[in-house]
Structure 1
Amino acid sequence: MINDNDVINTLEELEAFLILVEGGGLGLKNVAGLALATNNSNGRPFVAVLDDNHKLLMGRWVTQEVFENGKELVRNGIKKH
């Protein structure tokens, strides 16, 4: 579900990923939410795309900085400029 080589390194990359998911650009079905989480086995942070049953549809690793500073962006969504 998560490609080890595909890491979101900046808040701008996180925003672009959120826009892509919210706009349906990844072709995922039943997307109900997004969350920042940590992997249970190694504590590595990632952004999770969840379905309506809170099951992981897709994830992307994020840096610790993005994890700490991107919480509001994920929680509140993208603000249209």
Structure 2
Amino acid sequence: MNFDNNIIDNLEELEAFLLSVESGGLGLSNVAGVALATSNADGRPFIAVLDDKHQLLLGRWVSQEVYENGKDMVRHGPKKKMH
């Protein structure tokens, strides 16, 4: 499992992470979606980047605050910058 130990601890970092996933900036292929989840081992919240078979491509820990307040951003996507 590819898990980044850096913790996303604010909504701005979550938005930047989601934009990186969307733009292909993380070098991942076959990305089908993202989801907030909790670890079965210890209950820690994380964001999961999933492929089309719902397999984890990349995980990144998030703070409890980001887990609670970032659900809409993950569900609906980050805000796009207006040109």
Aligned residue number for residue 50 of structure 1: 50
Two-structure CA RMSD over aligned residues (Å): 0.8
* Whole-angstrom distance in 2 between the partners of 1:3 and 1:20: 14
Q: Structure 2: how far apart are the matches of 1:28 and 1:21?
A: 8
TM-score w.r.t. length of structure 1: 0.95
1:31 aligns with 2:25: no
Which position in structure 1 is the counterpart of 2:61? 61
Cα deviation per residue 1:42-70 (whole Å; 9 max; x = unaligned)? 00000000000000000100000000000
SS at match of 2:3: coil
Contact 2:35/2:74, CA 8 A, preserved across alignment? yes
Q: Tell me, which stretches of 5 or more residues in structure 1 are unaligned?
A: none
Q: Which runs of 5+ in 2 are unaligned?
A: none
Write 1 or 2 for the structure with the bigger share of strand: 2
Q: CA separation in 2, counterparts of 1:21 and 1:34?
A: 9
Paired residues in the alignment total 80
What aligned pairs does 1:10-25 form with structure 2 within 5 A after superposition?
A: 10-25=10-25
Q: Within 1, Cα distance between the matches of 2:9 and 2:74? A: 15
Structure 1 ranges of 4+ moved more than 3 A: none
